[in-house]
Amino acid sequence: MENIFKGALIAQKYALSRDVYPPGLAKIIMQFLYKHCDANPATLKHSKMVDVACGGGQSTRILSKHFDEVLAFDISENQIKLANANKPSNVKYGVASADKFPCDDASVDLVSCAEAVHFLNWENFLKETNRVLKPKGCLALFGYWMPTVIPLHVEGIERKQMAGVGSSIVRDFKLRGGYTDWVMEAFSSDYRMFYDLLPWASKEHNLTSKSDLTWSLTQFMYYAESLPNYQSCLARLKKDARRKNPDVSEEELKTLDFGDEMRRDVKAAWGVAEKNDDEILMKVEFPIPLVLACREKP
């Protein structure tokens, strides 16, 4: 799948909608690390973490305050530009590929990779993680997938029914672009696939975290439009239209954008067709699957 995050506009939409991780997530990760490296915040000296495929720093920011030194990298220059605009002082952002981490052997306490490992070459990622981790270093993989979308303008039983309608519109829409089998398996297994693939004995699969977001429909659409399958599906529809009619106008191509259809469906289902997108508020709950593992070698 093409890396859509290299585009400046998508990186911006991503930045406006993807600070989804709850504060409790970092706590779970740090407790696992302290337990496995027989340390605590006071004894873990000169601690270092690496955030692989860090995007605009969404995942880096929730963990960075627990470490002395943080290196976070991504293959997209535009994502790193946005990350640098909001940089904690102990963090260094850089452009690099996850096929070769820009770090020394056995130098890192924690490797994290959020909402990204399913897009990477797993063998290379694991080889590099193994190489850079200290003997008792840990790995944290997390992500998010299908949200429950609950409208905030209605009360009682109706809200529950409407949440079902809203969530299923999102689900149908999300599957439309066609993720690869690998990505589908990663998410439909709640990242258990990566838990099973990890060759280390000390590992955990945790499903207790979820996002707690209030979004307008405008923000929700930034999220949707920065999904790789949204963009690949739209590109395919436009390509087909151009092939059928080389003179097709930009206006006609615009009508292929199924985001408008989704907006209309959600508004109609929630009985707010007349409201503008900024006024329509929703609670968005993403379950956040988390896989933790410790390298634990003598």
Q: Which stretch binds ligand SAM (CB under 6 A): 35-43, 115-123, 160-168, 190-198?
A: 115-123
What is d(CA 17, CA 28) in angstroms, rounded to the nearest whole number?
24
The piece of 33-41, 55-63, 128-136, 247-255 that touches ligand SAM (CB under 6 A) is 55-63
Q: Among 97, 167, 189, 218, which residue interacts with ligand SAM (rule: CB under 6 A)? A: 97
When asked if residue 17 is in the footprint of ligand SAM (CB under 6 A), the reply is: no
Complex with ligand SAM: residue 70 or 75, whichever CB lies closer? 75
Q: 46 vs 70, 76, 132, 226, CA distance in Å?
A: 11, 28, 15, 36
**Residue 114 within binding range of ligand SAM, rule CB under 6 A:** yes
Residue 86 lies near ligand SAM (rule: CB under 6 A): no
**18/48 with CB nearer ligand SAM:** 18
Which region among 112-120, 168-176, 255-263, 272-280 touches ligand SAM (by CB under 6 A)?
A: 112-120
Among 119, 145, 223, 230, binds ligand SAM (CB under 6 A): 119
Nearer to ligand SAM, 59 or 219 (CB): 59
Select the residue interacting with ligand SAM from 10, 28, 54, 126 (CB under 6 A). 54
Q: How far is the CB of 292 from ligand SAM (least distance, A)?
A: 16
Q: Which of 109, 115, 128, 225 binds ligand SAM (CB under 6 A)?
A: 115
What type of residue sits at position 35? K
Q: How far is 19 from 170, CA to CA, in rounded Å?
A: 19
CB of 41 vs ligand SAM, minimal distance in Å:
23
Among 53, 262, 290, 294, binds ligand SAM (CB under 6 A): 53
If binding is defined by CB under 6 A, does position 219 make contact with ligand SAM?
Answer: no
The answer to whether residue 110 forms part of the interface with ligand SAM (CB under 6 A) is no
Angstrom distances, CA of residue 109 to CA of 89, 230, 248: 19, 36, 54
Strands 148-151 and 91-95: unpaired
Q: Closest separation between CB of residue 90 and ligand SAM, Å? A: 18
- Residue 230 contacts residue 295 (beta carbons within 8 Å): no
Burial of 224 (0-12, 13-18, 19+ CB in 10 A): buried
Q: Is 76 in the site for ligand SAM (CB under 6 A)?
A: yes
Give the sign of the dihedral formed by CA 172, CA 114, CA 4, CA 88: positive
Alpha helices, DSSP H only, in the chain?
8-17, 23-36, 58-63, 77-84, 122-132, 156-175, 181-188, 192-197, 217-225, 228-244, 250-254, 258-269
Q: Are 11 and 5 contacting, i.e. CB atoms less than 8 angstroms apart?
A: yes
Strand 287-294 relative to strand 281-285: parallel, antiparallel, unpaired? unpaired
Q: How far is it, in rounded angstroms, from Cα 23 to Cα 275?
A: 33
| Cβ nearer to ligand SAM, comparing 47 with 76 | 76
Q: How far is the CB of 94 from ligand SAM (least distance, A)?
A: 10
**Residue numbers at the binding site for ligand SAM (CB under 6 A):** 3, 5, 18, 53-55, 58-59, 74-76, 79, 97-98, 114-116, 119-120
